[in-house]
Structure 1
């Protein structure tokens, strides 16, 4: 059997050496129809578009994406051809929670906006969105939720529609998949018409997909000060993003919100387990031989919540670095140093005023 995999998927090298006769590890840009023609399985990231152009006439039976999203997989095509496909839902939810926490706290600090009692509108309440709801509550915010599919299927009376999110929220954050059709289409769900209904001085955060927000409408809203602060990790037309928008946003990062040690281990683990089960390899459940999650980072005597979060992840540092190298979007992502999530830290002698909040965010608290 032959396996073709993205070379930038951590911890994957060597896992399948005893099970596949041929294993090809390549950058996403080099995974071509010619390469996959005789492959039995693909293990990819979001940069490999698994559609008819790549797969037609190939021997591919299984596609595993070590990512939370799957809009790069033509699921209808795969289903019609009997190609099994899996993604890794929720694998990096802790990392995205950390990124959003850093964005919220830094915006609060730099703009002098208190988070206490403010309304946080969470649009998309799946694996990631649930973590953001918990984050908002831990920070003393009032949280309202919008997720039309869940509202319909689970009869969630307290969930609101997008119009209500727009009209009532002081902070709005998006955690939706990208979809182009149907009643729940998310492509350009944030356009000039919706932005007109925003409260004045709203803060906008997006770490889902860039196409969720229409770029020109966002540029106008920031320029006209309808939106007082913006944190973006995702952009339309990546990697060729709008330099005009980049100059206007408060904090900008290159689609790395989910780039944590824990997130990458989880994503690889979920795909390895699924591939192993599909081909009956017998190697699940799998963890890296040297599991980086076994070791905890230590933070002693934390002063306050903002500084503690910054010690785990400083969004300002990423923002500054990205602005200097934004034209090398993919290179920045490929060479990004993975960070530890909140759960990867042990807090020693935490101040009682912040210990409870830190614990709610996932930190391990040692009171001694």
Structure 2
């Protein structure tokens, strides 16, 4: 059997060679020609798995080392007997850390007291739940919005999205990118919805680029010079909207989830999934040696804001100061340690 894997997924090389004929390629080079005789794909978001890639292939299993799955045509896979899995929650702590650092930068620049602020969190899944914990730790007033979860679990404490936009000083998005269904998230932050936000709002997006209408956001920022944004995901990746970046307090190249812990867990989850599906007997798997056994030491800290600042300085990843291109920067990123390490 043949397995095709993204060459930029860490710790993967050598794992499946005893079981498969393995081919490694950068994600954007995994093509229909490459996968036509493959049984397994191990990918990231740069490989779009749809009819164009999969038609005529013998692929039966796709494992994505990512939280999201908008790069996988799930309906096509399910109708063609292709099993697909992702790595939900693998880098939730890393994204929490990115949000924390973005908050510290904004709070420090404005000389604000976190205890006077309301943070609105849109999407209360693996990542959003950790951001709830962060907001509470900072003493903020935390409000949550997650219509699908509220409906499914009969949660009455979540608020309406429009109400959240109106009352929040900080609004952060942690949702999948969906275009259909009862609660689509594509351009959920539209021109109409931006008009509901405070003129001093701080908007953060580390979920998916298409969640925010970038053109509308640029207009909002120009009309409201006291507003700020922190952007990690871009609507037309790998192309970045440099006009939006220029108006942003924080602008990073889709690396919010790029911690050592997150990458190890993502690889572990896809390896375990492939092992279970094909009964390889290598579950539970960990890289050897396991890089997570060495813990980080941050020294002394006066308060939680100081601790956050010592673990990660978000300005070091600003797209306006890096010399590498979007893909090169992500593919050669020096994984930071997150709060779990």
TM-score band, normalised by shorter chain: over 0.9
Answer yes or no: is the 8 Å Cα contact 2:138–2:304 preserved in 1: no
For 2:237 and 2:160, the matched residues in 1 are separated by: 29
Equivalent pairs counted in the alignment come to 341
- Alignment partner, residue 74 of structure 2: 75
Cross-structure match for 2:194: 195
2:124, 2:105 → 1: CA distance?
A: 23
Alpha-carbon contact 1:221-1:227 (below 8 Å) kept: no
* CA distance in structure 1 between the partners assigned to 2:213 and 2:27 by the alignment: 27
Question: Which residue number corresponds to residue 140 of structure 1?
Answer: 139
Q: Please show how residues 112-191 of structure 1 align to structure 2 within 5 Å.
A: 112-191=111-190
Distance 1:161 1:10 in 2: 40
CA apart distance, 1:310: 2.1
Conserved 8 A contact 1:204-1:227: no
Q: Secondary structure at the match of 1:42?
A: strand
Look up the SS of the partner of 2:62 in the other structure.
strand
* 1:301 aligned onto 2:296: no
Residue in 1 that maps onto 2:270: 271
Q: C-alpha displacement at 1:114, in angstroms?
A: 2.1
Which residue pairs with 1:54 in the alignment? Answer: 53
Write the deviation string for residues 36-66 of structure 1: whole angstroms up to 9, x where unpaired: 1100100000010000100000010100000
- Pair 1:39-2:30 in alignment: no
State the alpha-carbon separation in 2 of the partners of residues 271 and 91 from structure 1: 10
1:335 alignment partner in structure 2: 332
Match of 1:218 in 2: 217
TM-score normalised by length of structure 2: 0.98
Instruction: Please report the TM-score for the alignment, with normalisation by the length of structure 1.
Output: 0.91
Following the alignment from structure 2 to structure 1, what is the Cα–Cα distance between the partners of residues 44 and 25? 12
Secondary structure, counterpart of 2:172 in structure 1: strand
CA distance in 2: counterparts of 1:43 and 1:227, whole angstroms:
44
Q: Give the deviation of 1:327 after TM superposition.
A: 7.5
Give the corresponding residue for 1:209.
Answer: 208
In 1: Cα distance, 2:204 partner to 2:172 partner:
5
CA shift for structure 1 position 325: 4.1
Is the contact made by 1:233 and 1:255 (CA closer than 8 Å) also made in structure 2?
Answer: yes
Aligned counterparts of 1:145 and 1:160: Cα–Cα separation in 2: 6
Which whole-Å CA distance do the structure 2 matches of 1:184 and 1:326 have between them?
Answer: 39
Which string of whole-angstrom CA distances, capped at 9 and with x for unpartnered residues, describes residues 138-183 of structure 1? 0000111100100000000001111011111110000000001122
Query: 8 Å contact 2:104–2:309 — kept in the other structure?
Result: no
Partner of 1:254: 253
Would you say the 8 A contact 1:202–1:226 is kept in 2?
A: no
Partners of 2:202 and 2:229 within 8 A in 1: yes
In structure 1, runs of 5+ residues without a counterpart are 345-368
| CA–CA distance in structure 2, aligned partners of residues 317 and 272 of structure 1 | 31
| Residue of structure 2 equivalent to 1:13 | 13
Deviations 1:73-118 (A, max 9, x none): 0000000000000000000000000000000011000122221131
Q: Distance in 1 between matches of 2:316 and 2:323?
A: 14
- 3-state DSSP of counterpart to 1:144: strand
Superposed displacement of residue 324, structure 1: 3.3
Cα RMSD (Å): 1.2
